[in-house]
Amino acid sequence: MNDRITSLDSSFGYGVSAEQRNRVLRNTYWLLTLSLVPTVLGAWFGVAAGLSHVLSGGLGMVVFLVGAFGFMYAIEKNKNSAAGVPILLGFTFFMGLMLSRMIEMTLGFRNGADLIMIAFGGTAGVFMAMASLATVIKRDLSGMGKWLFVGLVVVLVGSLINMFVGSSAGMLAISVAIIGIFSAYMLYDVKRIIDGGETNYITATLALYLDIINVFQSLLALLGIFGGERD
C-alpha cells in the first residue's frame, strides 16, 4: 500500500534555507501533476486491454507487490540521478494499470464515469485542504509520523484479515480508515517539505503520490458501495 514500512520517520533538516525548501515544494508539485498523466494512461490502457481479468486474484496481488516494491526500490536508489524521474513516471503508469481493475468495475455502474470524477474531485479537494493547512500550521508535526505508521500497520493487518473474511462492513471501515490516515499523511508530507525535513523532490513526490492514490481508491470504493447504480 505504501513505502512507509521502509521509511518510518526521518529527522527534519531545519538548517535548509527557505529558498531551497520553496524550490523542493515547487518541483514536487510540478512532478506530482506530471505523474498523474501516466496514471491516467495506464488506467485507460488497462481497461482497453482487458487486464482486469489477468490481474484478478492471487496473480494480481503478486504482480502488484513485486512491481510496486521493485519500482519504489529503484526510485529510492536513483532519486539523486537523472534516471529518478523516468522511473517514477514508469511507476505511476504501473499504478494506473493496477487501478484499471477498479476503474473497469466502477464503469460497470450506470453512473460509473460520474463516480470516478467525483472521487477524483474529492481527492483533489482533500489534497488542497491538507496542503493549505500545512502552510499555516507552525508547530512541528514530525512526531505525527509514528502515530500514522501505527495506524497504517493496523489497517494493513485488517485488510489482510478481511481478504479471507470478505466482510462488507470490514471493507467499509478499512476504506474510511485509509482515507483518514492518508489524508493526514498528505498534511504530514507537505509539512515535512515546508520545514526542510525532505529535500529531495523525487522522494517527496513519491510519498504524496502514494497518499493521493490511496485516498482516491478508497473514496472510489465507498462511492461504488453507496452510490453505484446498476442497470
What contacts 202, CB < 8 A, 6 or more positions away? 31, 75, 79, 84, 85, 88
**CA–CA gap between residue 98 and residue 21 (Å, rounded):** 33
**CA–CA gap between residue 183 and residue 162 (Å, rounded):** 22
| Domains of the chain by residue range | 14-227
Please determine, for residue 5, whether its predicted confidence score (pLDDT) is greater than 50. Answer: no
**CA–CA gap between residue 166 and residue 15 (Å, rounded):** 49
Which residues in 217-226 are b (16+ Cβ under 10 Å) and which e? bbbbbbbbee
- Of the ranges 69-73, 74-78, 85-89, 168-172, which one carries the lowest mean pLDDT score? 168-172
**CA–CA gap between residue 124 and residue 224 (Å, rounded):** 18
Q: In angstroms, how far is the first alpha carbon of the chain from the final one? A: 32
Closest CA to 205 of 88, 65, 121, 98: 88
pLDDT at 14: 55
Q: pLDDT tens for residues 168-225?
A: 888 899 999 999 999 999 999 999 999 988 999 999 999 999 999 999 999 999 998 8
pLDDT confidence bin for 163, thresholds 50/70/90: confident
Please determine, for residue 9, whether its predicted confidence score (pLDDT) is greater than 50. Answer: no
pLDDT at 102: 92
